A and B are shown apart, each in its own frame.
Chain A
């Protein structure tokens, strides 16, 4: 295996410095900026984990809320008996197992059925949890009372971001990553060169789901009172798709470019137009899709190739090519 190339080293150093400065933020601010940054980091991890799977496979997964909710519930159910870090691990594992089962059952389906199934999954799990709670005669919600504050959430999310970026980078340079790029190009060829395409997709879906489950667990203390409706909220699935696509899913750091502007926009809109949030966000979304159909990343790529083509034209003109 190669060692790090120069550009990988540069990106690695920039990334590490970036994450380190995010982790220092609580020293400067404990209020608005901290909360906003926690939201940004939350979606950075979710969207990057989502894109690990959906980027190369082109399958749009709406299962984020399902995995996230499972993580949240792992904490809600176990907070009185087990230590928090262990619960995060359990939440991640449960989400990973569910991702594996869903993957085996659905990844042979075509893209459209997959979208619908994953959307239904969050709803299904929510109904099951609600039913179980009423069967066991407990109250509707569960309390998660910890002494973890925003800054602790930020630190954990920063750690998760480091984890997801390193994992993504390792996958990209592994056989699995190579297999996914081949599958993304031509699935028939992929099968004929010996790739078990279904297995590769399931493995990636499990990795993605596990990370999302861990994030759901980490965020549980923020909600304090956890209900099925709150934990398995499909809104989060849609937001993740929108932000990841807005940024671009063909580079590991692509989703970041979507998360930062969208989270800030969403925050501004919901504070200034509290009654029209979805309307304004919807309009913003339409504008984004219309103006940047291939995401921020694609926009920059287009710009670069345009400049390159322009330069070629100039060179050809210079040589007076007929």
Chain B
């Protein structure tokens, strides 16, 4: 936990007249687990898209470990060490479970191939709770297993920064407990993580710090306890009908 790994300054992205991300700034320190929360449509996914290079910011700057990544295409950002999961889970249906994981490790930040990739995939499948499932058809995985698979794929490149977009959404209570523990374990490996999440229990128990977005703007940034009792944050959530 030393210097800042990611720094976002005045990032802005508009879709037509709608400013989805409105001059947002925040920092993520090395080894930190940052929660990014806010009501539906507040611009969280768009913010992750700006970081991962899925879309370009209209203005502002995003710097990863001293290197400017804003404006770079997604594959360059991935190679510099940013990996992500998607809000609507995206597995590769015609690839085997093992190949889904190696897909993340062959072209990304730290590259593996052949026997090394095979070993890494098995270790990661074990890690996310899919041990022994390397050969099963990807299409037959349950929802939580697809999410696990996506997480293993994101970890396969040994990323410096991991972006999780509502990775816990849609899990039942017992799966949720397993999921929260898994993220905690990954974080305890020293991985830097930004997690977008609506599940407040997870935010409370996992995050060091939270950034709150509302209508594209940051309305709070700080220690979890303080931010979640901030009247402005409560108002944004109640106003945004998502209590």
> Which residues of chain B are near A182, meaning CB under 8 Å?
92, 95, 103
Indicate whether B114 reaches chain A with its CB closer than 8 angstroms.
yes
A192 and B74: CB pair below 8 A? yes
Residue among A1, A189, A195, A196 having the largest count of chain B Cβ atoms under 10 Å: A189
A197 interface hit (Cβ, 8 Å):
yes
Interface residue tally for chain B (C-beta within 8 Å): 28
Q: How far is the CA of A181 from the CA of B106 in the complex (A)?
A: 13
Q: Are A192 and B78 in contact (CB under 8 A)?
A: yes
- For chain B residues 106-139, which have a beta carbon within 8 Å of chain A? 106-109, 113-114
| Residues of chain A from 183 to 212 with CB closer than 8 A to chain B in the complex | 184-186, 188-189, 191-197
Please provide the chain B residues from 81 to 120 with a CB less than 8 Å away from any CB of chain A in the complex: 83-84, 86, 90, 92-95, 99, 102-104, 106-109, 113-114
Which listed residue (B73, B92, B99) contacts A186, Cβ 8 A? B92
Q: Judge whether A192 and B95 touch: CB under 8 Å.
A: no
Whether A194 and B78, one on each chain, are in contact in the complex, defined by CB atoms closer than 8 angstroms, is: yes
Known: A192-B52, A193-B78, A194-B78. A179 touches B92 (CB 8 A): no
Contact of B90 (CB < 8 Å), options: A2, A179, A189, A194? A189
A188 proximity list for chain B (CB < 8 A): 54, 86, 90
Q: Which residues of B have CB within 8 Å of A197? A: 75
Name the CB-closest residue of B to A181.
B95
Question: Which of chain A's residues 168-190 have a Cβ closer than 8 Å to chain B?
Answer: 175, 178-179, 181-182, 184-186, 188-189
User: Which listed residue (A184, A186, A193) contacts B107, Cβ 8 A?
Assistant: A193
Q: Is B157 part of the contact surface with A, judged by Cβ < 8 Å?
A: yes
A188–B74 Cα distance when bound, in Å, is 9
How far does the Cβ of B119 sit from chain A's closest Cβ, in whole Å?
14
Count of chain A residues with Cβ under 8 Å from any Cβ of B? 19
Nearest residue (CB) in A for B52 is A192
Are A184 and B84 in touch, CB under 8 angstroms?
A: no
Contact B114 A193 (CB under 8 A): no
Chain A residue numbers with a CB within 8 Å of B184 are none
| Given contact pairs A175-B106, A179-B107, A192 touches B84 in the complex (Cβ within 8 A) | yes
Chain B residues with CB below 8 A from A181, complex form: 92, 94-95, 99
Assuming the A-B contacts A175-B106, A179-B107, are A192 and B94 also in contact, with contact meaning beta carbons closer than 8 angstroms in the complex? no
Kindly provide the distance from the CB of A196 to the nearest chain B CB, expressed in whole angstroms. Answer: 5
Are B78 and A191 closer than 8 Å at their CB atoms?
Answer: yes
User: Contact check: which of B52, B107, B114 meets A195 at CB < 8 Å?
Assistant: B107
Residue in B closest to A250 when the chains form the complex, CB atoms: B94
For A179, the chain B residues whose CB sits under 8 A away are 106-107
How far does the alpha carbon of A182 sit from the alpha carbon of B153 in the complex, in Å?
A: 12
Q: What A residues does B109 contact at CB under 8 A? A: 194
CB contacts (< 8 Å) of B92 on chain A: these are 181-182, 185-186, 189
In the complex, how many angstroms separate the beta carbon of B98 from the nearest chain A beta carbon?
12
Do A184 and B94 touch (CB < 8 A)? yes
At the interface, yes or no: B79 with Cβ under 8 Å from chain A? yes
Per the bound structure, the CA–CA distance linking A178 and B103 in Å amounts to 8
Contact pick for A191, options B74, B102, B104, B106, CB 8 Å = B74
Minimal Cβ-Cβ distance residue in B for A2: B114
B108 A194 Cβ-Cβ under 8 A: yes
CB neighbours (8 Å) of B75 from chain A are 191-192, 194-197
User: Which interface residue of A193, A195, A196 has the most chain B CB atoms within 10 A?
Assistant: A193
B103-A192 in contact (CB<8A): no
Given contacts A185-B92, A186-B92, is CB(A192)–CB(B54) below 8 Å? yes
The residue on A at minimum CB distance from B94 is: A185
A-side contacts of B102, CB under 8 Å: 178
Closest to B82 in A: A192
Would you list which residues of chain B between 39 and 82 have a CB under 8 Å from chain A? 52-54, 73-75, 78-79
**List of B residues within 8 angstroms of A2 by Cβ:** 114
B103 CB contacts on chain A under 8 angstroms: 178, 182, 189, 193
Which B residue's beta carbon lies closest to that of A183? B92
Residues of A bordering B, CB below 8 Å: 1-2, 175, 178-179, 181-182, 184-186, 188-189, 191-197
Between A and B, 5 residue pairs with Cβ closer than 8 Å are A178-B99, A178-B103, A186-B92, A189-B90, A193-B104
Closest 6 CB pairs of A and B: A194-B107, A194-B78, A194-B108, A185-B92, A191-B74, A194-B79
> In the complex, given contacts A178-B102, A193-B108, what are 8 additional A-B residue pairs having Cβ atoms less than 8 angstroms apart?
A182-B103, A185-B95, A191-B73, A192-B78, A192-B84, A193-B83, A193-B157, A194-B157
